[in-house]
Structure 1
Amino acid sequence: MLTKAQRLKDLIDKVVYDLLNNVLCYFDFKHRCKKQKIKMIRHIVRLRRYEHRYVQPAFTFSALQFLSFTKTALPQIHLTLHTSQLSMTESLNKEDVMESLSAIQITERGNRRVGNQCLLKLTSGAELHQSLTLKGVNQCSHISCVTSDRVWVSDYSNIMLTDTTGVPLHRVEDLWMCLFRGLHTVNSESELIYIDRKRNINKLSKDMKRTTTFKETTYSTWEPECVYWSPSTGDLLVGTRNYDTETGKVTRYNQSGQLTQTIQNDNTGRGLYGEPRYITENNNGDVVVSHIYKDYNSGAVVVTERGGRHRFSYTGHPSGSGLRPRGICTDALSHILVCDRWTKTVQMINKDGQFLSHLLTKPQEMGAPWSLSYDVNTHRIWVGLPNNNKVCVYRYITRQDALTDEHRPRPEGDPLTPPHNTTHQLNKNEHRPRPDEEAMSSSTPAV
């Protein structure tokens, strides 16, 4: 593809060269533009014919997908040519052309980045990358990644910042004293946002020297249970619970702390949530909530669109078999991962609620998984346990193999016709669902 891109660049350079040199000669500029347009259309047709004939349908990263990806991912450059200054007559003078070319404006929009969904794939199973014992916490109720080697971990009453050695780096001791909730999150400035003992939502500065109140909780029947900072919008999502009616809702606040949205009911007016415990957001903007009902023995993963419309509720595998969800997160491939207390597994579902696999099934190094956090830089998950201070890091996503094309001399006349020995190599997704190895005993007490 790099070689083909170079040929396309050379073609564009030739067009630019002809424009700058031949437009001042004896030929019609308008006719030249039409001729170049026809040439580019023919070029695109050959590209499509090449795609149809030589790229196997099983490949997930085709030539046309690559061209489409570069069109959407790379900065859009808008050229504005003030044609009013260019007289389209038989005679053109050099000064008019140079003045028009100098008036071209280039505007770059957005950041240049590569879409991870085109480069990543699942491995054949989760692989243990690291296991560490934390010093300073009794349990791992919730985890928030700051960097690839620093995370915040909370237990019953405090949050501790630690590195990959498990040594405490900083501690916040005014956390709301309640286990197994997503009581904290980290924003793009590496600031910690958490729910304190007074049920206020506080923000700790990056240097950990200043604590400010993002939202003060006055006396109300609605109290915050979990928080999540949205990387895509910069908003703060808060799961709250009404202790009188034992129902829940999700509220959205902008960066100024103003309430901008409330998600509470489905399209029939029925409540979506019991008690929100953990909350996150998927790549498509869906709001994903792990909640339990008032009997504390069952729950669901409820997914709504960014606008608030209910999409689906996941209640276990198979559907309706029962779920006691705890920690949740989403990954770069838009999968939803959820800890299930019933089966002591981490279950993986796709963005539309379809079960894919048991990613972790009570591995020996862990026991029952409870809290999750996804590292967007290394594509690993941090998994915490409810009954001790042990955290395990797993790898289950890797980069795809590059599409290779060994070029040979081509027949003259068609630059896109590949030789017979051209090879394309791209590994397929080798991931297979793993069976549920062990179900949790029904005698396990509810938390």
Structure 2
Amino acid sequence: MYDDVVIYRERYDYIPQQEDIKTTYITNPQQYRKKIDYIRSVDLYRNWSLLAGIKTDLKMFPAKLRNHLSEMATKAHRLKDQIDTVACDVKIRYKQILIQRLQQLVRKMNERIAFLENYENISHILTSKPVKFILFNKKTPVPNGKAIPNLSLHTFLSLNKKTNMGDVIKLLSDFQIIEIGKRHVKSENLLELMSSPMIHRYVEVPNVIRVNHVSCVTPDRVWISDINSLIFMNRAGDILDFLTDINNYGAHTVDIRGDLIYIDWEYNINKISVDNGKKISLMKKKEPWRSNCIYCNPSDGNLLVGMYNTDTFTSKVNRYNDEVQEMQTILYNSGQKLYGLPIYITENCNGDVIVSDYFQGVVVTKRDGGHRFSYTGRPSESGLRLFRICTDAVSHILVCDGQTVQVIDKDGRFLTFLPSKQQEINLQRSLSYDDKTHLLWIGTRWKNTVYLYRYIKRQELS
């Protein structure tokens, strides 16, 4: 009765080793802990946010419904007026058609009667002249008195017999609900400016004089440059890589994969692989144009490059795809030059291209190149030279003026200063926003220090 019993190790030819069990015991909880942390910190919050949005829609539904019903009534009245107008036009047109058709019949009959009367008169006259009468009959056959012209009866206007009145009524009364898109959580519904921003922490950067530009790779790894060096480091301050051929200003960025893209001393654009550190040439300098600043859009991989012409002293912004093929040039606005000397460049969540220009301040254009607005500081501080720029997850534009950070909305309206006077970071030089932790990296001018600043937070969900 026990013939079908098989020992597990004989059937599968496998005996779990103690080390395998130990490894599995260590790695599995770590993997699950990451998933649970993500669910706890991200998924649950986003789902609660979606639920809050649905509840808000439910509360607003009666008012929205009244508005829609009012719009429907207005459209129905407009439709009725149009139908009445069409009916009136049809009556006039129908009357004109009937009159025209009857007039045609009258004209036809008059012509027929005149012909017959003329024939009868000529025949009567020629009766006494046999030769002429015979010749006339040969040339003009005797009319058939029984032949009556083809005269149609006048018709009455009616709907097409194929028209189904039920379908017409259904067309006018039926409606359908059209899905206008998938419900999702918008960043502006998740995040808001903090009433009391705070310095989260700071990191000292070795081997640099000042922090010119910052490009975030991950929440704990960044590229930081000063005048002539570029350092890859973690938040603990450990140097992971080091380059010495970097250009000035906003000369580096990070692509979707985390690879570094930078402009070297000779104005060539290169890439450093995050996997093996291999250097790849992306674009050589094309005289007389020199690449001044660069930004990679993390959503589509497009490269934005601010360029300066050393012959004509003009500037432009070029857009390239991920294969470094030119897609667009932004140069003029209604015949006027947009840029003097681009030194930093970025792209907002709404597609706007934002350039910090050495002479023009902050110049913002739409994705298609149309000029939206320019910003030169608060009205009371107009003419203040602006430097580094970045944008955050809710489309704010952050502008470093050397002393503080000015926060404006996507339409150029001033919102606030960062940091506050109580937390002032003197002589700020560079900015970079980490969209994963929502921390702002602020570099200083005469110190080798980068501050991680928290000024934005999750909205409280009711």
2:254 and 2:451 map into 1 onto residues whose CA distance is: 20
2:340 and 2:350 map into 1 onto residues whose CA distance is: 24
Matches within 5 A, 1:44-55: 48-49=61-62
1:45 and 1:360 map into 2 onto residues whose CA distance is: 39
Q: CA deviation at 1:377?
A: 0.5
Aligned to 1:282: 348
CA contact (8 A) 1:125 1:359 kept: no
Moved more, 311-320 or 321-330: 311-320
Matches within 5 A, 1:34-433: 48-49=61-62, 114-176=185-247, 178=248, 181-218=249-286, 220-267=287-334, 269-293=335-359, 299-318=360-379, 321-341=382-402, 344-360=403-419, 366-403=425-462
Unaligned runs of 5+ in 2: 1-46, 67-180
Code of the aligned partner of 2:347? E
| Number of residue-to-residue matches in the alignment | 299
Code of the aligned partner of 1:48? F
Q: Deviations over 1:365-407 (max 9, x none)?
A: 631111000000011100001212111010011111112xxxx
Q: What TM-score do the two structures reach when normalised by structure 1?
A: 0.62
The 1:165–1:310 alpha-carbon spacing in structure 2 relative to 1, beyond 3 Å, is same
Code of the aligned partner of 2:202? S
Code of the aligned partner of 2:415? L
Q: CA deviation at 1:138?
A: 1.7
Q: Deviations over 1:195-222 (max 9, x none)?
A: 012211001111242111111113x121
1:139 and 1:332 map into 2 onto residues whose CA distance is: 27
Q: Say which structure is richer in strand.
A: 1
Aligned to 1:432: none
Q: Deviations over 1:328-376 (max 9, x none)?
A: 00011110000113xx110011100111111225766631111000000
- SS in structure 2 at match of 1:325: coil
Unaligned runs of 5+ in 1: 9-43, 54-109, 294-298, 404-447
CA contact (8 A) 1:345 1:362 kept: no
The 1:113–1:182 alpha-carbon spacing in structure 2 relative to 1, beyond 3 Å, is farther
- SS in structure 2 at match of 1:117: helix
Q: 4+ residue runs of structure 1 moved beyond 3 angstroms?
A: 44-47, 50-53, 110-114, 361-365
- SS in structure 2 at match of 1:49: helix
CA RMSD of aligned residues (A): 2.8
2:230 and 2:201 map into 1 onto residues whose CA distance is: 21
Q: Deviations over 1:48-89 (max 9, x none)?
A: 128899xxxxxxxxxxxxxxxxxxxxxxxxxxxxxxxxxxxx
CA contact (8 A) 1:248 1:274 kept: yes
Q: CA deviation at 1:263?
A: 0.5
Aligned to 2:169: none
2:58 and 2:420 map into 1 onto residues whose CA distance is: 50
Aligned to 2:102: none
Q: CA deviation at 1:292?
A: 1.2
Q: CA deviation at 1:244?
A: 3.1
The 1:52–1:188 alpha-carbon spacing in structure 2 relative to 1, beyond 3 Å, is same
- SS in structure 1 at match of 2:188: helix
Q: Deviations over 1:265-302 (max 9, x none)?
A: 112x1111111011001110000000112xxxxx4100
